[in-house]
Amino acid sequence: MNRLGIRFKLFILGFLGAFMLMGLASLALYINKEGIKNLNDVFDDTKQVHTLQSRYIAPLFRLRELSLTLVMAPNENFRSHIQTSISPLISHLDNAFSQAPNELNGLWLGYKSLLETTRSHIGQGFEEGAFINANTAERKQFFALIDTLEQNQNRQLEKSSTTFSKAQSLAQNSKNLLYIGVIVLLLVSIFVASFIASNIINSIEIVQKGLKDFFNFLSHKSDELQNEGIALESKDELGAMVKAINAQIYQIKADLLQDRKLIEEATQIVSSLKKGERDSRLIEHSNSKELNTLKLVMNEMMDDLEQKILNEINQRTDQEKLLIQQSKLAGMGNMIGNIAHQWRQPLAEINAILISLQVRHMYEDLDGEFLNSQIEKCNKITEFMSNTISDFQNFFKPSKEKEEFCVYEACHKAAMILHSSLKHYAIEFEFNADKTQTILGYPNEFSQAFLNILSNAKDVLVERQTTNPKITVTIKSGEQYVLVKVQDNGGGIATENLERIFEPYFTTKHAKQGTGIGLYMCKTIIEGNMDGVIHAQNIDDGACITIKLKLPQ
């Protein structure tokens, strides 16, 4: 048997296999024909379901999403972009529903009309009307349309499920018949094939053992081959193949030993890179073109690594500066509101003075002394209003270099910005502070961070309409740190948000009331620029933000 060629042995097995295939072919063709018919039925039903989803439901949800985004968009640029995206969607759905039943087409036309009303309100600047329309009539019509589509989809799914059950039952019966045919033919062929196959398998096992020893060597499970190659005494094709494999094994062994040296050197350099050492380079040469290419790439990478690190640092610094600028711009609206509160009472006093002058002039009781005194009062009031503007301008100027500053004065300056606003909303403000302690840092940036925290506390108290609202600021100093605590009685922070309030762009406010970068920039200023720590926690009746700063050594 060893002298017969593998081709002849396989020819015998092939002839036997052909006999089996001929017997199974007829049975398989019948089963295949029935299976294809049933699969086509299931496919047609499933295709109908998919058509409803892809042609109607998915575009409708996308259109609804764009409608809500249009209402919530922060500026006209975003709205213009969204309006551009809505129009092609509407055209697509017009075409799709024109081929749908009259009921669906009527519901779509109703929803489209309400959507156009929302877009019209946005175009006219009537944002409140757009918001109300999008979340009442438009929303109701949208879900009515979706419900009708889902009912049609469910009917198609039920039909597809029935067809699939029938196909499944037929497939099971066909499978049983096929099993019987296969078993009969296998019993006939196994006896003949086993004798021929055993001879081939014995030769393959010898080759397998030799290759296993070689693969163990390749995977470093052994340092040397167990023998000089694969020992197979055969005159067939496997014998010729073994001779060629043995010649390649000896060559590969020599190449691998050289490649291993290069890989070990590369591993050492990677370890050095993890430790921050970037001066090493690969020197060993390999017989593998790919490894030599990797060697060149690694050397070039290490040459360029330091410059890339510097570029990344500069890029991150620029991004941080941009976020700081965005935070300041977001605070300008609050600043204008605070100026309005600061000016409300002085303007009222000026108005009262003018009325008194008008009355005394009407009754011819306006003497020079009274006129001069009233003019002097107006001058003092206008001087106060001018100083208010100057305070706000100086407050938002960035500190160029670190300097020692009084924590109390920085916090007091920020608190005075909100003084009139707190008074307007009847919020009690308590300030308990060490007035002499100084730290090293950026005073204006710190004041802005503190103002941001105070503003958030005020907004919570106003939004939740807290009874007897109160904000308490406490400054305590120890031997190494200064603690600044801002507490309110606004009910606290939701547990799921407590760990996220300092993340960028995370906000619990309405899109028009907050950008989500205020507290993130507070954290960046306190922890990144001033080596401090800031964290939030809930207390009995509200929340507490704590800032911890190092004292100068």
Give the per-residue pLDDT at 467.
92
Residues 518, 330 contacting (CB under 8 angstroms): yes
Give residue 533's pLDDT band: very low, low, confident or very high (50, 70, 90).
very high
For the chain, what are the domain ranges? 6-197, 319-550
Among 64-68, 183-187, 276-280, 331-335, the minimum mean pLDDT is found in 331-335
Q: What fold is seen in the domain 6-197?
A: Four Helix Bundle (Hemerythrin (Met), subunit A) (1.20.120)
Q: What is the pLDDT of residues 441-469, one digit of tens each?
A: 888 888 888 988 998 899 899 999 999 99
Give the per-residue pLDDT at 508.
65
Among 136-150, 184-198, 386-400, 435-449, the minimum mean pLDDT is found in 386-400
Residues 452, 514 contacting (CB under 8 angstroms): no
User: Of the candidates 434, 494, 489, 431, which has an alpha carbon nearest to the alpha carbon of residue 460?
Assistant: 489
CA 303 – CA 280 distance, rounded (Å): 10
CA 49 – CA 155 distance, rounded (Å): 9
Q: Which of 102-111, 262-271, 344-353 has the highest mean pLDDT?
A: 102-111
Give the per-residue pLDDT at 316.
63
Strands 403-406 and 428-432: unpaired
- First-to-last C-alpha distance (Å) of the chain: 93
Amino acid at 380: K
Tokens 């409708």: give the residue: 60
CA 420 – CA 46 distance, rounded (Å): 66
Q: What fold is seen in the domain 319-550?
A: Heat Shock Protein 90 (3.30.565)
> Does residue 267 register a pLDDT over 80?
no
Give residue 537's pLDDT band: very low, low, confident or very high (50, 70, 90).
very high
Q: What is the pLDDT of residues 183-239, one digit of tens each?
A: 877 777 777 667 767 766 777 777 777 677 766 766 665 555 445 567 666 666 666
Q: What is the pLDDT of residues 311-351, one digit of tens each?
A: 766 776 666 566 556 555 555 555 555 555 555 556 666 77
Percent of the chain with pLDDT over 90: 9
Give the per-residue pLDDT at 371.
80
Percent of the chain with pLDDT over 70: 67
Q: Which of 76-90, 151-165, 261-275 has the highest mean pLDDT?
A: 76-90
